Structures are given as C-alpha cells and as structure tokens.
Amino acid sequence: MKIKLLLGAMGLLIIAWGVGINKPADVEPTIVTTSETADLENVEVVVVENILETELENVSETELENVLETELATISENDIIYDAETFNVSLIITCETLLNNLDKLDPAKHTLVPEDGIIYANYELEANAGESVFDILLRTTRENKIHMEFVDTPMYNSAYIEGINNLYEFDAGNMSGWTYRVNEWFPNYGCSKYEVQEGDIIEWIYTCEGSQYEMSF
C-alpha cells in the first residue's frame, strides 16, 4: 500500500528530489508517493517554500534540513492518506416480491414499485477495500439520490435498514422488510460487519414473508 505525505504548515510542500537540494524553477512540485514502511529520515527531500518570497537557492541546506526535521516531527495520522485498493462488485436493490403482493401495500405506495421491481442495479460498481455491505449501500443511495433510512443498533454493532425508496418494513405485512444476501447467501449478521470482496454480488431485497424461498428469483 502507498501513502502520500501532505504537509501544509507554513505553506511547505515536501517532495522527493533525488538530485540534490536545488529545484529548477520551471518544474512544478509533486507530492511524493512512497512505501508506508519507508524510513522518512532516509528520504532525500526538497522543501519548496511557496508563501515567502525568499528564493530556494538563497536558503542554506542547513536551514532547509532544520525546517524539514521540524515538519516531519509534526506529521500525524491525519496527514497520511492511504491509497485504498479498489475493485468491482455488483449491487442490486429490488422489491420484486411486491409485484405479487401489491394488495398488501398501501395503494398510495404502488407508484414506488418499479414495473420490473428493480430499484437500482449496477454490475460494475467500484468498491474500496475495507468497505462493508452497508458502506456500499449508503454511498450508492446518496450518490444516486435514492431514499434510504437506517438506524444504528449498538447491540449488534451494525446498521439496520428501515426503508429504501420510501418502502419500509411492515409496509406489506408484519414479516415484510429489507434484507440482504451476498453471492446467493443470506449472512446471519449485520450488513455493517460484512466486508465486501472483489466480484461480490450484493442484493438488497424487500421481502413480504421473511422467507428465503420467497426471494429465490
């Protein structure tokens, strides 16, 4: 994994420069990317002063080294941005079960049910390593302006989905509500705890009977 060092104090940008202490005036500074296990004290750097008018060549190497040591000492975890691994997953949000159970749903909500029951489908959705099924759902619904309501359940250390697309639990009976499955499997733990993997097929399904057989499309 790689890290990027961002140093904003005093308008100083620390960049890798392997050829010495002087920087050509026509070269734009770039952020250094290095291994997270790199020994920062052994990285040869140039401090580019982008606020003061003092030219770099007029600053002694000793002064630059002193500034560098001071700045490196102030680096915190918040200054380190990790380049997360990304991969594709599939995400489907469906209420197909309601197509055969519209009589159980308030007529005022019939227009919320798409003709094919599919609220959202993306088979090449980019995901980040470490994201959970809930993270994927939350990000996707926000980005696509799809209504989604949830509550945190500390007892299970997970989010509980109450409604998607304004279709809520109990809207179609006492056993109705939202559940999820991944790769045709219904996990027996909360969606916040399921960490997605490359190629996962994630489905959010509205169930009317709470039965897995009902949801075998």
Q: What is the DSSP letter of 99?
A: G
Query: 107-159: per-residue pLDDT in tens?
Result: 999 999 999 999 999 999 999 999 999 999 999 999 999 999 999 988 888 99
From the list 136, 133, 135, 167, the residue with the least C-alpha distance to 149 is 167
- Topology adopted by domain 86-207: Ferric Hydroxamate Uptake Protein; Chain A, domain 1 (2.170.130)
Query: Which parts of the chain have pLDDT scores under 50?
Result: 1-25, 27-53, 216-217
Measured CA to CA, the distance from residue 196 to residue 190 in angstroms comes to: 13
The predicted structure's pLDDT at residue 74: 75
The pTM of this model reads 0.62
C-beta separation of 217 from 118 below 8 A: no
Domain with CATH 2.170.130.30 in the chain: 86-207
The predicted structure's pLDDT at residue 125: 98
- What region does 165 belong to: left with phi over 0, alpha with psi -120 to 50, or beta? left
The predicted structure's pLDDT at residue 63: 75
- Please give the structure tokens belonging to residue 216: 């075998």
